[in-house]
């Protein structure tokens, strides 16, 4: 093989390598995490609007692991991508004490104070060791956030709260939530702790990975395409070196 032919083949190989690298860079993230190991694909997941990606935390105030997880998810919320819509579902699992706190959280949601009071209630239970056992006690706690205790108690028995409670529990059940905390991403994926997801940093990294999968890639603009074509043409015009 003469030097000219060898040089052309070398250039062709380099161009093919660059092209394949560009294609990989424009595709989905590398398979850092695997379905069935790090996350579960939710069967019969509902269709969701394009653009936004929902992240739902299934939790309970009665779950000590959720209390430990709280600073992790709070830090994540400060850095989450702009297209992520975060919310919480208080699960019950048929437990009376869990149901009481779930109803209180949903009532606070309906009254617009859930997020404001969330961290404080978690701290009151697990740091101050103050467990409230009636809705009246919980209403007194939430009254510090601008609502009347009597109105809070009455709202907790309203049709709106009952309906949202049923909807939330159905969402958690349909997603296959079996423990807390768990995270539902894009209504399609369930992330929960296991041997492969051994700590909360890994759990949230899996969430970031799935959010990236569900985030639409911006199409290449005409100017970007023209620039890439120009660079490819300039590379092809360079003479092959002597070998």
Do 145 and 113 touch, CB atoms closer than 8 A?
A: yes
pTM here is 0.77
The domain containing residue 70 runs over which residues? 42-214
Q: What is the pLDDT of residue 30?
A: 54
Low-confidence ranges of the chain (pLDDT < 50): 3, 5-29, 220-224, 226, 231-232, 234-243
* Rounded distance between C-alpha atoms, residue 78 and residue 63, angstroms: 23
Residue 34 lies in a domain: no
Q: What is the pLDDT of residue 239?
A: 41
Residue 120 lies in a domain: yes
**pLDDT tens digits along 194-229:** 999 999 999 999 999 999 999 987 554 444 454 555
**pLDDT tens digits along 175-187:** 999 999 999 999 9
Do 58 and 223 touch, CB atoms closer than 8 A?
A: no
Q: Which two tokens stand for residue 195?
A: 């041997």
Residue 90 lies in a domain: yes
The answer for 34, left when phi > 0, alpha when psi is -120 to 50, beta otherwise, is beta
Residue 113 lies in a domain: yes
Do 188 and 42 touch, CB atoms closer than 8 A?
A: yes
What total number of domains does the chain contain?
1
* Rounded distance between C-alpha atoms, residue 103 and residue 110, angstroms: 10
Q: What is the pLDDT of residue 28?
A: 47
Spell out the residues 6+ positions from residue 198 whose beta carbon is closer than 8 angstroms to its own.
Answer: none
């Amino acid at each position: 093989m003469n030097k000219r032919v060898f040089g052309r083949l070398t250039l062709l190989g380099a161009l093919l390598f660059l092209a394949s690298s560009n294609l990989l860079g424009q595709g989905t993230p590398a398979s850092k995490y695997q379905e069935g190991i790090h996350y579960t694909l939710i069967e019969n997941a509902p269709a969701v609007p394009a653009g936004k990606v929902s992240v739902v935390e299934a939790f309970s105030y009665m779950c000590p692991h959720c209390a430990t997880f709280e600073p992790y998810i709070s830090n994540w919320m400060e850095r989450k991508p702009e297209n992520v819509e975060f919310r919480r579902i208080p699960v019950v699992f048929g437990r009376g004490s869990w149901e009481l706190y779930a109803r209180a959280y949903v009532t606070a949601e309906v009254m617009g104070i859930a997020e404001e009071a969330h961290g404080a209630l978690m701290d009151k239970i697990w740091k101050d060791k103050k467990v409230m056992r009636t809705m009246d006690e919980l209403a007194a706690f939430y009254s510090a956030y601008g609502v009347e205790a009597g109105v809070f108690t009455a709202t907790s028995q309203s049709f709106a709260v009952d309906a949202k409670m049923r909807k939330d529990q159905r969402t958690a059940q349909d997603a296959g939530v079996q423990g807390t905390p768990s995270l539902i991403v894009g209504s399609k994926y369930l992330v929960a702790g296991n041997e492969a997801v051994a700590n909360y940093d890994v759990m949230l990294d899996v969430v970031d990975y799935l959010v990236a999968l569900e985030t639409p890639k911006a199409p290449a603009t005409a100017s970007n395409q023209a620039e890439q074509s120009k660079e490819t043409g300039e590379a092809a015009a360079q003479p092959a070196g002597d070998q």
